Chain A
């Protein structure tokens, strides 16, 4: 089946630094990818929709200058958390929509756990 790879799976960084998370579709091309954030014991909250070759669409309340999204190719989207603070510590998950005709399933990465000290 389709696979979405997310890297790194776990990262610890100091406050004020930036962290880049990669999301790759390994065996299909994804024009659209999605980024979610999940706080402990909570559900997934959609952060933004990443469109290949164009600007990302951010959900209300998500700071686009803080969470930079780049979808430079049909198989890679990146999320950069800039000037990270402890409150940014969370589980970040990406997903990619398979473009196959009639297929509705989105494939999720395994997630990245970010801990900001």
Chain B
């Protein structure tokens, strides 16, 4: 099953610009995580935000979480060509030990 939607499905920007991706989910969550995946490769964990947090930063990444709207956003500032990848949000439900449920993902292309 998939938890929610990401938008946009695809995003093309120039190096140096900011990229914003949004994620919506349906059920109550314990935390929400963002992952990156280069074409044909495994997942790289980017950042985790807990349900009682509203914003979190890590380097050029900024994540927000609005539990009332069941949505999150990932902002990548000053993008680089190397940021080109697919980005997925994944939610962990309140029940302990449950699997992550992934959104459909956003494909980001950063051109130099």
Say which residue of A95, A97, A104, A113 sits within 8 Å of B40 (CB atoms): A113
Smallest CB-CB separation from B30: which chain A residue?
A: A104
- In the complex, the answer to whether A46 meets B40 with C-beta atoms within 8 Å is no
Please report the total number of A residues contacting B with Cβ < 8 Å. Answer: 25
Does any Cβ of A come within 8 Å of B25's Cβ?
no
Distance, CA A42 to CA B47, complexed state (A): 21
Smallest CB-CB separation from A10: which chain B residue?
B40
Q: Does B85 contact A (CB under 8 A)?
A: no
Q: Is the C-beta of A12 less than 8 angstroms from some C-beta in chain B?
A: no
Known interface pairs A60-B1, A105-B33; A43-B102 also in contact (CB < 8 Å): yes
Whether A32 contacts B2 by the Cβ 8 Å rule is: no
Closest to A103 in B: B48
A69 to B2, CA, bound (A): 21
* Contact between chains at A104 and B97 (CB < 8 Å): no
Chain A 55-106 interface residues, beta-carbon cutoff 8 Å to B: 59-60, 91, 93, 95, 97, 104-106
The number of chain B residues with a CB under 8 A from chain A is 25
- Give, as a whole number of angstroms, the nearest-CB distance from B53 to chain A: 12
Contact yes or no, A34 B99, CB < 8 A: yes
Interface string of B21-56 (1 = CB under 8 A from A): 000000000110101000011110100101000000
A25 at the interface (CB under 8 A from B): no
Residue A45 is within 8 A (CB to CB) of chain B in the complex: yes
| Interface of B toward A, CB cutoff 8 Å | 1-2, 30-31, 33, 35, 40-43, 45, 48, 50, 88, 90, 92, 97, 99-105, 107
Would you mind naming 23 contact pairs between A and B with Cβ atoms under 8 Å apart? A32-B97, A34-B99, A34-B100, A36-B102, A42-B104, A43-B88, A43-B102, A43-B103, A43-B104, A43-B105, A44-B43, A45-B2, A45-B102, A46-B100, A95-B100, A97-B97, A104-B31, A106-B99, A106-B100, A109-B42, A111-B41, A111-B42, A113-B40
